[in-house]
């Protein structure tokens, strides 16, 4: 039981650690108004950057696989919600503002549309994948090409 509580605390600490600079960055950019980000754009950016940080931390060995999957699943859901909110807010005439982030968005959206985002763990798989490369879950059977 003590171990379980310890794991939960570490997970919470890792989450806070990851989100803290991102949240600070959000406030900073909103205050400075440097890119004239809308609230939904800022939210989308924060979610996507957090998602990317989780991937980096996992690759760097700072997160174990269980934490990684859990965080990634949560952040993916958040990023997608933010994407939809942003899209709704700007209507159909929106233009990409940040190539890096937009590329990430395109990747996630393409994954979602085609079923390459794993329903089991939230991992975004390469286009054409039939099984999740993170957990092995079978992906939606979509025609490829
Ligand atoms: Zn998976």
Average pLDDT over every residue of 75-102: 71
Q: What is the pLDDT of residues 96-125, one digit of tens each?
A: 455 666 677 777 666 666 667 777 787 877
Residue 139 lies in a domain: no
Q: Is residue 103 part of a domain?
A: yes
Quote the ligand 1 centre to 66 CA distance (angstroms).
Answer: 11
Distance 50 CA to ligand 1 centre (A): 19
Question: Distance (Å, rounded) from C-alpha 86 to C-alpha 33?
Answer: 17
In the reported structure, the alpha carbon of residue 3 is separated from the centroid of ligand 1 by a whole-number distance in angstroms of 26
Number of domains in the chain: 1
| CB proximity list for 108: less than 8 A, separation 6 or greater | 48, 51, 76, 79, 80, 83, 117, 124
Q: Does the pLDDT of residue 144 top 50, yes or no? A: no
Across residues 16-24, what is the average pLDDT? 65
Condensed to tens digits (0 to 9), the pLDDT of residues 25-62 reads: 555 544 545 557 788 888 888 888 888 888 888 888 88
pLDDT of residue 118: 77
- Alpha carbon of 7 to those of 10, 37, 62: distances in Å? 5, 37, 14
Residue range(s) defining the domain that contains residue 106: 2-114
């Amino acid at each position: 039981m003590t171990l379980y509580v310890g794991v939960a605390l570490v997970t919470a600490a890792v989450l806070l650690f990851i989100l803290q600079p991102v949240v600070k960055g959000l406030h900073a950019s909103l205050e400075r108004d440097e890119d004239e980000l809308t609230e939904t754009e800022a939210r989308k950016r924060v979610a996507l950057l957090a998602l990317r940080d989780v991937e980096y931390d996992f690759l760097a060995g700072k997160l174990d696989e269980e934490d990684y999957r859990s965080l990634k699943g949560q952040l993916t859901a958040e990023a997608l919600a933010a994407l939809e909110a942003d899209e709704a807010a700007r209507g159909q005439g929106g233009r990409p503002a940040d190539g890096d982030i937009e590329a990430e968005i395109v990747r996630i959206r393409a994954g979602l549309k085609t079923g390459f985002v794993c329903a089991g763990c939230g991992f975004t798989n390469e286009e054409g994948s039939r099984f999740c490369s993170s957990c092995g879950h079978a992906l939606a059977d979509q025609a490829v090409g």
